[in-house]
Structure 1
Amino acid sequence: MITKGAFPNIFEACSFAEVEPGKVEDISKIKEQIEKQFEEFSQKGLRTLGLAYKDMDQQKTIKKEQETEMTFLGFLAFFDPPKQDILKTVEDMEKLGISLKIITGDNKFVAISISKDVGLESTRVLTGSEINQIDKEALVQKVNDIDLFAEIEPDQKEHIIEAFKKAGKVVGYLGDGINDASALHAADVGISVDSAADVAKEAADIVLMEKSLEALVEGVKGGRKTFANTLKYVFMATSANFGNMFSMAGASLFLPFLPLLPTQILLTNLLTDFPEMTIATDSVDKEMVQVPRRWDINFIRKFMVVFGITSSLFDYMTFGVLLFVLPGMIEQFRTGWFTESVISASMIVLVIRSRKPFFKSKPGKYLLITTLLTAAVTLLFPFTPFAGPFGFKPLPISVIIIIAAIIGIYVITAELIKRIFYKKIKF
């Protein structure tokens, strides 16, 4: 019978050792020498298995209980060098606020060697046997301070993942073996590779087509850009709708006529949708990619109220100015508010899309084009043959200049409010 496996388990099952071909001695005589050799292999980063045999009569089946009083034959040592770009990848992950932890079944000496090879200098190691000696709450307290988990059994991987989650971390787990399935299920994001075991791929949320941490880095960047652009849309849509609700309700109460006809409202919504549709392609500030963020409904609510009310105040300002300069001219009043409403909604996207001053953050090409195109179409629409069916009339140049001034003041005011808002309310 020939047996190979984890060195501690094989060594424990051996009573003898073959010191030379055909020469067998009691293993106790060279026990320290064998253990020292194993430690040296491990410290060099070699994954080391034990190899043993036992002379037996021919049998159809062999039971585990028969793996006793075996003869230790030697080691099987393997070296799997890290990829050359791993140091840069780990550095990139740290810049993105991602902490890299290693969970391995290898012994702690191999784990320490591997961690140094990938740029993790920490020697904080927790072994599977040590985990068995502490309760779950103690593990939760410990995990954030540990970088290496060595000699870990398959079921312990899931316990470690759960401990990180209870400690308030969002956990991604990368594994490719059958023994990783439970940990992949437990993680917030289970990640495997195309060459992994089928069970691991089925348990994973994401399957990488190439076995590379760099792909993870790019995936994180892409995810954060998508999240940032999603927030831009939510900020813009909620604040605009909240503000329009107050503007329309107030105008309906105080004006003797409808401020906008139903068809005009639909046209307003259609035109303001064009810049919104290109937000998904917008460029994202580096600061938004470097720091992980979470969905915060309270922050969104505050943003909606502050910028929605600001929008309404300038709508009311527009009402007052239009009533003063266009007395009794209902169609031109509606044309004026339509113009101000669409252009201001388009321009304000350029303000709220970034925490930086809008002139210091370059918008995406398609967002900029659709914003300028929407503003131009809105400004020229009342002068086209299509204006009549919608109930619009051309505005005097003087009124257009006044509306442009109101929009300019609105953009500047929104920029100032944005700076104050982000200083007082953290996200």
Structure 2
Amino acid sequence: MAKDDLITQYWSQTPETLGSRLNTSLKDGLSPAEAAQRLKSVGPNQIRKKARATPLRLLFNQFKSPIVLILLGATLISAFLSDWVDAMIIFGIVLGSALLSFFQEYSANSAAEKLRAQVSLKSQVVRSGQTLSIPSEEIVPGDVVLLAAGSLIPADGVVLEAKDFFISQSVLTGETFPVEKTTAAVAAGASLSERTNVVYMGTSVRSGSARVLIVETGAGTAFGQIADRLVLRPPETEFESGIRRLGYLLTEVMFVLVLGIFAFNVYFHKPILDSLLFSIALAVGLTPQLLPAIININLARGSQSMARHGVIVRRLESIENFGSMDILCTDKTGTLTVGVVELNGTMDASGQPSTEVDLYAYLNASLQTGLPNTLDQAIVAKGADGAGEYEKIDEIPYDFVRKRLSVVVEHNHERSEITKGALENVLAVCSHVRLNGQDQPMDTERQADLQKRFEDWSEQGYRVLGVATKSVPVQQHAYEHSDEASLTFVGYLLFLDPPKPGVEEAIRGLEKLGVQLKIITGDNHLVAKHTAAAVGLGDVKMLTGSDLDKLRDAALWNAVETTTIFAEVDPNEKERIILALKKRRHVVGYMGDGINDAPSLHSADVGISVANAVDVAKEAADLVLLKQDLDVLREGIQQGRKTFANTLKYVFMATSANFGNMFSMAGASLFLPFLPMLPKQILLINFLTDLPEMTIAGDNVDPIYIERPHRWDIAFIRRFMLVFGPLSSVFDFATFAVLLWGLRASEQAFHTGWFIESIVSASLVVFTIRTRLPLGRSHPSRAMMLVTAFVALFSLLLPFTPLAAPLGLTPLPITTVLILLAIVALYFMFAELTKRWFYRRLQNQ
């Protein structure tokens, strides 16, 4: 089916007309073969086509750097001037560096894509009469889609069938409250908000269920047509901002120095082409060109490691925030508790077991079609005698304002309304209470008795709901919220969800990592307090939703610091708590799996959901846990911190080495009668020193680093650069002095000596810079040690091989090599001593 054939103003047409024009069956949907053909014709159901990280694209990206392009251009000039050896060597080194980055990035990206596919969004579609679960991207016009509470709507379509079907579509229309959708066609000129029979891509199902015929997909949807205005780039994280500013700083300084070096070399009558190549090669060596690749590789490797610990990373950029997180907000159900709720008692208003309450609760839970939840599942699992004699007439769906749900049933030609929900909200609409089979007026004394029983059970850890009923007229055709009035309270439902085994140890583990746990729950404050005590949180400060409403923002900013439990809160209050914590400069994680958790997942620095969460929650989350367990989360935090630590290792190495080399090259250019190093030698140094740095992603991280959260600190990195950069230059100048004045080295011998010193020192100093601990107390990875040893040995042996002459190197006397190694050893020792002084001074500040 061609894109041009899609139907306009479809909301004004009957389903039968649409089915005919879309050539689909409203009952059985498309056939798989026809759906596949349409997918080829119309394209995937995406707002904008995703640029896949194909091998060719990734390889091409390695050559997009302006500096690399200039270098390739200069290589062509060398070839044009018949300097074939230099041209081939420089081109080979540039190509080798590009291939090295390419293989690392391609491997990491492929692994990350496979992990993200594990939690990709799927939709329920009817094809050839069978219900299938397919990726939402494969939905095509003519598909019949089944929607339920919590579903993200995958494309635009018309409603064929609906049961209490409410949609949250504020992202498109700005409407605050959910909107009910029906099957009735509307006028052709209706606006987005007036199309009550249409569902839109990007919105979500709040309650109820529906069967929908898809008409528009991808860019043709209402969301797709205004996507550029709706979809903005996520705010830049502190880490991303720091990396960007650091890159700008180094690049700006590098360009000033490189242009200065080129000008000086030309002024002192050194060959212009060699000076140009030297300056460009120096630029390649000094720019933090590997930084994006190293970050991508670290994040991708980190996501793989986290996946092995049960955490799927949906957005790689969130790993840094995950490691920096110092507060975790979570509900208690399923995280602190087992999550398998049991109905432990159905009690009448006097607190005695009641089969009447049993029956009413079962009818309400089994006949409602809104949000599936563990409480209703527990009621249905218990069953009730005589329920089969009742017929459902209507339903008043649950919402988070009323916190109750009602069904209307008919039995022996009489109709009853049965209401179930939070006790306070049920009692609010009750005028009578059933005691000993008699309906009594609800006076203050009786209400106090009911409240006392509720509090006693809550203090024992039970979650308590209320059940009420009343007779309603048979002739009434529709029932609304206003019908929930003048009810008779009939009894209580007692649920128990015991603490999860091992949760106390998991909480202690989070505390050791510097992560403070805060419980945010809609449950009763007494139940929340009992659970907190049961999992070892002790007697902690608590705020309820009503307390929050009385606090102004400034007061809440102070209260959130000392409060551990927030109980009886609604979705808006959850989001307000998270924003207050962020205002206090905390990195906040929020763990949720329900429809009402989506705003909080968006607001938190790290949104965490679980694999069995509703679509809306998973889409809003940065991380998805394969198991709803705090211990899995603790392991994920550790992996996130390791990833962050290894990323910063490269930053420290790049800044200290780059800054030192800038001054060494600039200084040498001023007093040497020849180029300090040939362009091809600089590029080879850059290539060889990149090899050990490629192993950083798999390097060991000191346990002491993982014990607390860390954040990006560009001021600290600047201080590090200003201390260790000049230290590197001091020993470079010492090398110059020994070679020029001590050993009277020739130009070629000078190049060779500095070549060896540069590579060996840069390779070995990695072992000092990679850790804050004394060298003997931190163990680098096996891969890093092996690659570093190979690079150092290769640089020592290279001048004695046939490759030496084309590279402008010459064999050095063994005494010269030993002197150079002695300088490297001194540099290594001073770097270690300087590191200890630097961090000791930092701690004392």
Q: What's the TM-score once normalised by structure 1's chain length?
A: 0.97
2:653 and 2:766 in contact (8 A); partners too = yes
Higher helix share: 1
Instruction: Name the residue aligned to 2:468.
Output: 52
Instruction: Name the residue aligned to 2:439.
Output: 24
1:174-253 equivalence runs, <5 A? 174-253=591-670
Residue-by-residue CA offset, 1:307-334 (whole Å, 9 max, x unaligned) = 0100000000000001134325221111
Instruction: Name the residue aligned to 2:280.
Output: none
Instruction: Name the residue aligned to 1:118.
Output: 535
- The one of 149, 160, 184 equivalent to 2:566 is 149
Matched letter for residue 463 of structure 2? R
Pick which of 304-313 and 60-69 moved more: 60-69
Distance 1:86 1:172 in 2: 18
Distance 1:336 1:418 in 2: 26
Distance 1:325 1:382 in 2: 21
Matched letter for residue 454 of structure 2? F
Distance 1:391 1:288 in 2: 44
Distance 1:221 1:3 in 2: 46
- The one of 424, 427, 448 equivalent to 1:8 is 424
Residue-by-residue CA offset, 1:8-57 (whole Å, 9 max, x unaligned) = 0111211211223x322223253232111111221122211110001111
Instruction: Name the residue aligned to 1:419.
Output: 836
Matched letter for residue 384 of structure 1? T
Matched letter for residue 51 of structure 1? V
1:321-400 equivalence runs, <5 A? 321-400=738-817
Q: CA deviation at 1:66?
A: 2.2
Distance 1:328 1:181 in 2: 69
Matched letter for residue 441 of structure 2? D
SS in 2 for 1:51: strand
1:326 and 1:333 in contact (8 A); partners too = no
1:157 and 1:183 in contact (8 A); partners too = yes
- The one of 459, 473, 487 equivalent to 1:43 is 459
2:739 and 2:745 in contact (8 A); partners too = no
- The one of 540, 557, 564 equivalent to 1:140 is 557
1:268-283 equivalence runs, <5 A? 268-283=685-700
Q: CA deviation at 1:404?
A: 1.1
Residue-by-residue CA offset, 1:379-413 (whole Å, 9 max, x unaligned) = 11111111111011111111111111111110110
Is the aligned partner of 1:98 residue 2:515?
A: yes
Residue-by-residue CA offset, 1:76-99 (whole Å, 9 max, x unaligned) = 121122221211110110000000
- The one of 480, 493, 498 equivalent to 1:63 is 480
Pick which of 182-191 and 197-206 moved more: 197-206
Pick which of 100-109 and 204-213 moved more: 204-213
Distance 1:60 1:116 in 2: 49
Distance 1:264 1:203 in 2: 50
SS in 1 for 2:517: coil
Q: What's the TM-score once normalised by structure 2's chain length?
A: 0.50
Is the aligned partner of 1:259 residue 2:676?
A: yes
Distance 1:66 1:123 in 2: 41
Distance 2:743 2:571 in 1: 77
Runs of 4+ in 1 over 4 A off after TM superposition: none
Instruction: Name the residue aligned to 1:158.
Output: 575
- The one of 703, 720, 741 equivalent to 1:286 is 703
Distance 1:325 1:415 in 2: 27
Instruction: Name the residue aligned to 2:492.
Output: 75
1:193 and 1:201 in contact (8 A); partners too = yes
2:699 and 2:781 in contact (8 A); partners too = yes
Q: CA deviation at 1:239?
A: 0.9
Q: CA deviation at 1:211?
A: 1.2
Instruction: Name the residue aligned to 1:173.
Output: 590
Distance 2:690 2:787 in 1: 10
Pick which of 324-333 and 404-413 moved more: 324-333
Matched letter for residue 501 of structure 2? Q
Distance 1:167 1:94 in 2: 19
Distance 1:121 1:234 in 2: 42
Matched letter for residue 240 of structure 1? A
Q: CA deviation at 1:201?
A: 1.3
Distance 1:328 1:228 in 2: 42
2:598 and 2:620 in contact (8 A); partners too = yes
Matched letter for residue 148 of structure 1? I
SS in 2 for 1:196: coil
Matched letter for residue 590 of structure 2? Y
Residue-by-residue CA offset, 1:246-284 (whole Å, 9 max, x unaligned) = 111111111111121001111111111111111111101
Change (3 A) 1:100 1:256: same
Distance 1:360 1:400 in 2: 30
Change (3 A) 1:328 1:395: closer
RMSD value, Cα: 1.3
Matched letter for residue 695 of structure 2? T
Q: CA deviation at 1:118?
A: 2.1
Instruction: Name the residue aligned to 1:317.
Output: 734
Distance 2:619 2:696 in 1: 34
Matched letter for residue 305 of structure 1? L
Residue-by-residue CA offset, 1:166-220 (whole Å, 9 max, x unaligned) = 1111100001111111111111111111111111111111122221112211111
Matched letter for residue 27 of structure 1? M
Instruction: Name the residue aligned to 2:267.
Output: none
Distance 1:301 1:392 in 2: 35
Matched letter for residue 32 of structure 1? A
Distance 2:743 2:438 in 1: 111
Instruction: Name the residue aligned to 1:404.
Output: 821
Structure 2 runs not aligned, ≥5 long: 1-416
- The one of 694, 717, 721 equivalent to 1:300 is 717
Distance 2:776 2:753 in 1: 27
